[in-house]
Amino acid sequence: MRVVLDTNFWVSALVYSRESSALRQILERFLEGDFVLITSPALLDEFSELCERHNVAEAVIEKYVTLMQRTRTESPPYVHRVVPTDQIDVVSADPDDNRVLECAITGKADSIVSGDKHLRDLESYQGIPILSPRDFLTTLGRET
């Protein structure tokens, strides 16, 4: 399964979530190699910026950026980096959300996981479902 995790997901998982939360469970499932993370340079940049705004320690930011830059051929976690060539302008209220959609289309994602209202209001984009973390965990439960 190929998945784009919205950058807000990452920051929330690192900063706000408790051990038993859906965010932490998804992060653990990613680290175990239960799905392939699809990411892009734009999403990595946004991740770094959001972490800095939330005062995440530089060492933690570097650890996760390095993790998200791994290649799919390495042992888990699996990551596939894409460089979108087409720009999408679907979410006018938050243009950064368009980068998530671009990444998902270019990376042929099976799902987008986000708690972001602008993305979630779409429900899906070009056949790619946009799921809440809890709904994604349910999907993972069926897949594994």
Q: Per-residue confidence of the chain (144 residues) as pLDDT tens digits?
A: 999 999 888 888 777 766 558 888 888 898 888 999 999 999 999 988 888 888 888 888 888 888 777 765 667 778 888 999 989 999 988 888 999 999 999 999 999 999 889 999 999 999 999 999 999 999 988 654
What pLDDT is attached to residue 143?
56
For CA atoms 113, 90, 71, 45, give the dihedral sign.
Answer: negative
CATH no. for 2-143: 3.40.50.1010
What's the CA dihedral at 4, 116, 23, 108 to 10 degrees?
Answer: -10
Q: Rounded to whole angstroms, what are the CA distances from 75 to 31, 70, 78, 105? A: 10, 9, 7, 25
At 18 the pLDDT is: 60
pLDDT, position 67 = 78
Number of residues in the chain: 144
CA 97 – CA 61 distance, rounded (Å):
21
Q: What is the pTM of this model?
A: 0.87
> What pLDDT does residue 144 have?
46
Question: Domain map of the chain by residue range?
Answer: 2-143
